[in-house]
Structure formats: C-alpha cells, structure tokens
A and B are shown apart, each in its own frame.
Chain A
Amino acid sequence: MTRLTLNIQSNYPLEAEAITPEKFSGKSVAEIAGLPVLYGNEQCQIGDFFTVNGNGSEGIELEGDLAHVKYIGAGMRQGKITIHGNAGMHLGAQIHGGEIEVHGNTGDWAGAEMTGGTIRIHGNAGHGLGGAYRGSRHGMNRGFIWVGGNTGNETGALMRRGLIVVQGRTGDFTGAFMLAGTVINFGGLGSRPGAGMKYGTLVTYQEPELLPTFHYDCVYQPGFLRLILNDLRRRGVSVADELVGGNYRRYSGDFTSLGKGEILVYDQH
C-alpha cells in the first residue's frame, strides 16, 4: 500500500494523471515522489505536493482535500485507489479496470468514458458523471459507478454500456442521448431525463417529470431489473425486497430519436 498525504493547499489545479496503481507498481517511495504532475502550467513532481509513504504496491491511499487535484486514477486498468477526502475533476476518467473509492465528493466528469472497473463515491459527484466528453460519440462503456449522494447534470449522458447507481438526486438531462446501459436513481431525476435517448434504461424511485416524447406502455415487473438489483446487493448496496419484486411503469422514448429507450418508474401502488 502506498499512502499519499496532501500537504499543500492551493486554488490552482493539479493534474495528477500519474496517480494510478500501474504507474506506482514496483517503484520505490523516491521514484513515486518523482513522478510528474502538472501544477497550473508548471511541470512538477508528486513529492512537491504529497508526503509519500508505503511500499509501491498496487493499492493507493490518498488523504486530504484533493478537490483541485484532477485526473486521479485516469486510465487505470487494475488495483485500487482509496481517497479519504474530496477529489477533483476527471476522477477515474477513461479507466479500463480496477476500483476507485472516494470518501468525499468529486468534481465533474468522474468516470467519463470509462470502459470497465468500479467507482464508488460516498459523497456527491459533479456534472457529466460517466458521460461523454464534448465531441465524443459515447460516454461510459461498461463498468459500475455508485454514488451515495447527489450528482450534477448529464449523468450518464451518451452512455453506451454499464451501470450507474445514484442514491440521491441526479441533475438535469440524466441519461441524455443514451445509447444503452442503465442508470438507477433513488432520489429523483432533474428535468428532461432521457432527452434524445435511443436505447438504454433509466430507473427511478421518485415521480419524474417526463418529456412529452416518452409514451406510457404498461405496469410490469421487469425481469432484467431483478438481476441488476440482485447484483447490486452482491456489491454491497442495500436494496429493499419490495423494489426487487415490485411493479414499474414503463415509458418508451425518446421519440424525437429512435424511441427504443425506456424510463422505468417504481409504482408504489
């Protein structure tokens, strides 16, 4: 386990793409401290900002308020990063595997365009969670994101595959232009959920305000959702029995697009 403790607070962004288990693997403390980071427009080293302890194995622990530290774990493929504090933008962006756990809040674009792995955020997440960068054709493509708090706008936008679970509220345009995958929202959706979605599934446990381009289908018990909710339980997420075996209203949409997406609303009646 390698432990990094932030010892300098700054308002300038620190781009720390070097903080991944692969880049730390097999390196000594001195070598890790010498890895490059970008402070504003200045090339610096990890050791300029962090106190490094540990043995260079694949597990990484970060301590401190890292709200201005960007790209933590970006592109990682294996291992685990645990953050005791907040994390900055692009946390776990484009990761392929491994696990990131944040005991705090994260900035925008966490898990953007990820293709595998797991991200757990115990606090709130910013905009574009699991989404697509501007100009990209699709966002998250496999993997799992769990957020204990709320998320910003465009959660899961242009999502291609994978699962996003948000215990709190998601912002506006949740699942906008989704291509596939599943977003589960327990605390309520912002405005215009699923706008422009072609395929994919939005599940919500609060009454949403839907666009008129979503059409009501039926009340039913979706079998695939049982699988997903049971899988969530295996991942340690608490899901009540009545939600697993419950009724859901199905709305198809968005008919401004292909219309093969769906919004499932838990039906308490």
Chain B
Amino acid sequence: MALLINGVEIEDTFAEAFKMWGTRVIITAKNRKWAWEAATKMTGFATSVIGCKCEAGIEGDVEDTLDGRPGVSVLFFTPSKDDLPKRLMERIGQTVMTCPTTACFNGLEAADKLSIGGQLRYFGDGYQGSKLVNGRRFWRIPVMEGEFLIEAKLGMQRSVGGGNFLVLGEDPDVTLEATERAVEAMKQVRGMILPFPGGIVRSGSKTRSKYKFLIASTNDAFCPTLRGCVQSELPEGVNSVLEIVIDGLNVQAVEEATRVGILAACIPGIRRITAGNYGGTLGQFKIDLHRVLGEAAPA
C-alpha cells in the first residue's frame, strides 16, 4: 500500500542491515577545535568496510567528560570482532595520540572489552604508567608534548551496519537539499553515525560486477544516465538519487534515524524514497520503511 508523506511516495520495502561490532570512543582536548581535529582524522577514510576495512563517524559533542574538557564522541564499526581492535589501534595510535592535547576514553558500557590503551602503552617504551581511577584503568604515555592519557579498555558490542534509504529527486539540487535536511535531522539521534561524506552517498553499489576482480559496482538500476540501458528502478521524472547509510550501536538507533531522516527528506521535488536490500537473503536486520515510519508519518 502506498504511503505518502508531504506528497512523497515511501516505497513499501525495507533496508537490509548487517551485524557489525561497534564501540564508542570519547576524545577530549584542550578545546573543541582540537577534539574535533582528532575525531575528524580518526574517522577519515572510514566510509565503507568494502574499501576501508571499517566504518566510523562522529556522533557529536560530549558535554560531561571524565576530565571536564570539551569532548567528541566517535562511533567505530567493523564486520568482525577481531578486526575492531586492529583498526582502532591503527587509528587511535596515528590520529589521536599524535594530536596535541587529546585524551581518549571509553564511551560504551558493555560486557565485551577490547584493549587499546593496554596495547598502545608500549609506545611509552617502558616509561608508561597507569592510574586506576574509580575502578577504571588509564594509561599515561609520555610524549614530546607531555603525556597522552588513554583508557585501558573500551567497551564493544554487537551493532548494526548498512541501514539505508535512497532519496529519488527531480534534479540533483533538490535531491541534495533533501538529503542535507535529512542528515541535519538525523544528527540529533544518538547511538548512530552516517559514515559517508556529509552523511550522503552518491555512488551506491550493488554486490556484483561484470569484472571478476570487483566485489561491488555501481547500482545501475538507480543510475539516471542508464535509465534507457538497464532495467531501471527509477520512476518517471527522477533525475538524481542520493543514499544515506546508517550504522548504529543497536537496531533501535538505526530505525529512529531512518524515521527522522525520511520525514525530513520529504520536500517538494522528491518523487520517492526507497531502500536498498538483497531480498532479505544476506542481512540479519530488515528495517521496514512503513513500519518505522508508523503512525508518525503525516498523510
């Protein structure tokens, strides 16, 4: 049954999302500028596990931090439990420890723990020391600036990656405006991040290719320039498609972000909103668009 929001058709379909492992890292610094510098570097080139081995993004500012300084919350995801510490070691070691004035703390209470500070401490070459504060261990690593402080263990938990929806618009400008509005609205939802640049993807992919060396290639069914060449999924009048991909610490956060984002994206000039899936055969989570919009959707 068709669902219309502000005249925009919401297709009766679902986003297919996958199990991931996720963690939350709190980065603090002397001021907001340096906290964001570190967080931005740490989450750079972390858009998709296909090419980046991890997905990461900035969740937002943190007001009440352990050391009382300005803080930023970063969410970090990998497909496997073993990959998470490897990727975090690389990224925290190269982007947070190197960044002036920063400190790094766990932001996720979870039964599973991963040792990052406990490994990174060896950079101290024997001069590292630790402090146990209120039951939590922190490593002090001497660096040229002074000391880098990092919590010994971070919590990690089963998470959700690959939540998504596609915005089909009449032209690139209105499609970009709709997705920008969606991203702004979705930033208010905690527990999830949008790993792509500005939260928006223009080159959505399908999981096959005519080339044997590629595991993913352009999503031709949604490419306007290929409307006449392939079995297109684009309705008449659609000339641009943008996608928003969502990773969350739990499925509730992904669903809430989907709901908030779709509602914000329904502006004049948008013809349809749909979602990417593989027929429900690959992903562990089905995020049904009509269900998440529920009764909140205005007619």
Binding-face segment, B44-52, B132-140, B266-274 = B132-140
Q: Chain A binding site: helix, strand, loop or mixed by DSSP?
A: mixed
Set of chain B residues within 8 Å of A199, measured between Cβ atoms: 129
CA distance A230 to B134 in the complex (A): 11
Set of chain A residues within 8 Å of B148, measured between Cβ atoms: 223
Set of chain A residues within 8 Å of B66, measured between Cβ atoms: 227, 230
CA distance A223 to B129 in the complex (A): 13
CA distance A244 to B67 in the complex (A): 9
Residue contact A224 to B68, C-beta cutoff 8 Å: no
CA distance A226 to B67 in the complex (A): 5
Set of chain B residues within 8 Å of A161, measured between Cβ atoms: 132
Residue contact A226 to B69, C-beta cutoff 8 Å: yes
Residue of A nearest to B66 (CB): A227
Residue of B nearest to A229 (CB): B68
Residue contact B140 to A224, C-beta cutoff 8 Å: yes
Residue contact B146 to A221, C-beta cutoff 8 Å: yes
**Nearest Cβ distance between residue B64 and chain A, in whole angstroms?**
10
Residue contact A220 to B67, C-beta cutoff 8 Å: no
A260 beta carbon closer than 8 Å to chain B: yes
A228 beta carbon closer than 8 Å to chain B: yes
Residue contact A223 to B147, C-beta cutoff 8 Å: yes
B97 beta carbon closer than 8 Å to chain A: no
Residue contact A230 to B138, C-beta cutoff 8 Å: no
Specify which of B129, B131, B146 is in contact with A227 (CB 8 Å cutoff): B131
**Nearest Cβ distance between residue B136 and chain A, in whole angstroms?**
9
CA distance A161 to B138 in the complex (A): 13
Q: A220-247: which have CB < 8 Å to B?
A: 220-224, 226-228, 230-231, 244
Q: B51-80: which have CB < 8 Å to A?
A: 66-69
Set of chain B residues within 8 Å of A142, measured between Cβ atoms: 132
CA distance A199 to B138 in the complex (A): 15
Binary A-proximity of B113-138 (CB < 8 A = 1, otherwise 0): 00000000000000101011110001
Set of chain A residues within 8 Å of B129, measured between Cβ atoms: 199, 260
CA distance A221 to B133 in the complex (A): 17
CA distance A113 to B134 in the complex (A): 18
Question: Please, could you name 5 A-B residue pairs with CB atoms under 8 Å apart, sorted by A?
Answer: A161-B132, A222-B146, A223-B140, A226-B67, A226-B68
A binding-site residues for B, Cβ under 8 Å: 142, 161-163, 182, 199, 201, 218, 220-224, 226-228, 230-231, 244, 260
Given contact pairs A222-B146, A227-B133, A231-B134, a sample of 17 additional A-B residue pairs in the complex whose CB atoms are under 8 Å apart = A142-B132, A162-B132, A182-B131, A201-B131, A218-B146, A220-B147, A222-B147, A223-B67, A224-B138, A224-B147, A226-B67, A226-B68, A228-B133, A230-B66, A230-B67, A244-B68, A260-B127
